[in-house]
Amino acid sequence: MRVANFNGGPGALPVEVLEEAARDMLDWNNTGMSIMENSHRTKEVMAMAEQAQADLRSLLGLDDSWAVIFCQGGASLQFAMIALNFAGPGGRCDYINTGLWSTKAYKEAQICGAKPRLAATSEEDDFTYIPDAFDFDPEAKYVYLTANNTVRGTQWKHFPPNPPAPLVADMSSEFLSRPLDLTHFGLIYAGAQKNVGPAGVTVVALKRELADKARLDVPSMLSYPIYIKNDSMYNTPPVWSIYVAGLTFKWLKNTIGGLAAIETLNRAKSEALYQAIDGSQGFYRGTARAASRSNMNVTFRLPSEDLEKKFKKEAQDEGMVGLGGHRSVGGLRASLYNAVNQEWVKKLIDFMAEFQRKNG
Ligand SMILES: *Cc1c(COP(=O)(O)O)cnc(C)c1O
């Protein structure tokens, strides 16, 4: 029996996508083999990767001024790739620190020899909000931010309006969850396993203009221009992960109807859950400031850690999993990624009311 999956990552995938992948498991595309057993140099596999890219472009509205590539090493390798390609030794770059993942990205830039600088941070208030005032360095090569903070449950509603350099954004935990105005962006990326597919592939979209400025003294597997030049097939790409992500892109496009449609669904889910939290007379307490709340990761606390433990255990017994907060902060977290459906959220809200009745 499938459970109501509120995992922070890897997260839930659409059941239609899993079913299609299962149907094709032993004989994909009349090749008599699983897609995992096919060579990535065949025209069938290359066509699959091209189709995945085309669907992604159509979802995000990316024209040819953007390159789309499939990398490995997770979102975490992008922390280094971005600094190595666009800053380099001594290169100046601005970071907006909104939690664990941007802190890691900042540190990684330092390790790569770049000179990252904080343009804003919400650390002084425990990362409970998204900053709206910035001290930008006019010489920065890029401005880095995390679009949705998986751990703290905060999300950008309006990105910085006048950055001095292209915005570079980690969109891992909100990728394809809402339409985006990409005017000021130079690069966006997402580890697949939060919202679009299996771990193993990181989807990167970058402006060709920015890619043209990449440094060339970078190891091949860390070089954006090499990925672009080789259609992400400089070496063996993570074919299976690209394939499943491609099925999710198709599902978003054809079954859901695109990013505006998924945003409406996502909003309905998170609004219902925040309402339940806010209406609990303080029994449930949201951890993020209201104006910065995430539509993807809803973080909250109970009056005691013992109750939180009990909550997780009883929810699990009722077929709801993944409700523990990130290990760095504790508490509770319901991740409402694209594949999490309205029924699961309703079930959780009903459970919360009942749990409060018994324990409040
Ligand atoms: C999960 C997560 C990461 C880390 O992803 P990996 O693919 O495991 O490296 C980075 N950034 C954000 C926003 C995340 O949610």
- Note whether residue 7 is domain-resident: no
Distance (Å, whole) CA 137 – CA 318: 51
Distance (Å, whole) CA 281 – CA 277: 8
- Note whether residue 23 is domain-resident: yes
Cα torsion 12, 14, 20, 26 to 10°: value is: 0
pLDDT on residue 290: 97
Cα torsion 269, 273, 278, 283 to 10°: value is: 180
Nearest-atom index, ligand 1, CA of 149 = 13
Q: What is the mean pLDDT of the chain?
A: 97
Q: Is the pLDDT of residue 48 over 90?
A: yes
Question: Which of the listed residues 226, 256, 286 is the one where a domain comes to its end?
Answer: 256
194 is catalytic: yes
Instruction: Please report, for the domain that includes residue 181, its CATH number.
Output: 3.40.640.10
Domain match, 310 and 330 both:
yes
Question: Which of the listed residues 256, 285, 301 is the one where a domain comes to its end?
Answer: 256
Structural domain that includes position 289: 258-359
Q: How far is CA 36 from CA 26, 28, 71, 200, 343, in A?
A: 10, 9, 17, 13, 33
Q: Read off the pLDDT of each residue in 330-339 and give the average, rounded to a whole number.
A: 98
Domain match, 248 and 314 both:
no
Closest CA to 227 of 184, 199, 189, 194: 189
pLDDT on residue 199: 98
User: What percent of the chain stands above pLDDT 70?
Assistant: 100
358 is catalytic: no
Instruction: Please report, for the domain that includes residue 293, its CATH number.
Output: 3.90.1150.10
Burial (Cβ within 10 Å: 0-12, 13-18, ≥19) of residue 54: middle
Choice from 100, 172, 176, 337 to test ligand 1 binding pocket (greatest atom count within 8 A of CB): 172
Domain match, 248 and 307 both:
no
For ligand 1, whether the C-beta of 170 sits within 6 Å is yes
- Note whether residue 9 is domain-resident: no
The residue contributing the CA closest to ligand 1 atom 14 is 172
- Note whether residue 5 is domain-resident: no
Domain match, 196 and 130 both:
yes
For ligand 1, whether the C-beta of 166 sits within 6 Å is no
Domain match, 235 and 270 both:
no
Distance (Å, whole) CA 318 – CA 276: 19
Q: Residue 1: pLDDT band by 50, 70, 90 thresholds? A: confident
Q: How far does the centroid of ligand 1 lie from the alpha carbon of residue 193, in Å?
A: 9
pLDDT on residue 267: 98
**What is the number of domains present in the chain?**
2
310 is catalytic: no
- Note whether residue 10 is domain-resident: no
Domain match, 189 and 246 both:
yes
Residue 325 is given by DSSP the state: P
For ligand 1, whether the C-beta of 173 sits within 6 Å is yes
User: What percent of the chain stands above pLDDT 90?
Assistant: 100
pLDDT on residue 214: 98
Assign 3-state DSSP to the chain and report helix, strand, coil percentages, each to 5.
40, 15, 40
Q: What are the b/e assignments for 104-118, b being 16+ CB within 10 Å?
A: ebbebbeebebbbbb
Residues 6+ apart with CB under 8 A from 55: 246, 249, 250, 253
Q: How far does the centroid of ligand 1 lie from the alpha carbon of residue 271, in Å?
A: 24
Strand residues in the chain grouped as ranges (E): 4-5, 66-71, 92-97, 115-121, 143-146, 148-149, 154-155, 167-170, 185-191, 202-207, 285-286, 297-301, 320-321, 332-335
Domain match, 104 and 249 both:
yes
Nearest-atom index, ligand 1, CA of 199 = 7
Q: How far does the centroid of ligand 1 lie from the alpha carbon of residue 75, in Å?
A: 5
- Note whether residue 343 is domain-resident: yes
Distance (Å, whole) CA 264 – CA 352: 23
* pLDDT per residue as tens digits for the range 150-206: 999 999 999 999 999 999 999 999 999 999 999 999 999 999 999 999 999 999 999
Domain match, 299 and 236 both:
no
Q: Is the pLDDT of residue 285 over 90?
A: yes
Sheet holding 167-170, edge to edge: 66-71, 202-207, 185-191, 167-170, 143-146, 92-97, 115-121
28, 115, 141, 170: the active-site residue: 170
* pLDDT per residue as tens digits for the range 244-283: 999 999 999 999 999 999 999 999 999 999 999 999 999 9
Nearest-atom index, ligand 1, CA of 77 = 9
CA 306 to chain centre: 31
Domain match, 233 and 216 both:
yes
28, 66, 101, 156: the active-site residue: 101
Domain match, 312 and 198 both:
no
* pLDDT per residue as tens digits for the range 69-95: 999 999 999 999 999 999 999 999 999
- Cis amide bond preceding 164, omega within 30: no
- Note whether residue 146 is domain-resident: yes
Q: How far does the centroid of ligand 1 lie from the alpha carbon of residue 28, in Å?
A: 30
pLDDT on residue 317: 98
- Note whether residue 2 is domain-resident: no
Nearest-atom index, ligand 1, CA of 76 = 9
Domain match, 303 and 236 both:
no
Domain match, 143 and 247 both:
yes
Question: Which of the listed residues 228, 256, 284 is the one where a domain comes to its end?
Answer: 256
Choice from 194, 241, 337 to test ligand 1 binding pocket (greatest atom count within 8 A of CB): 194
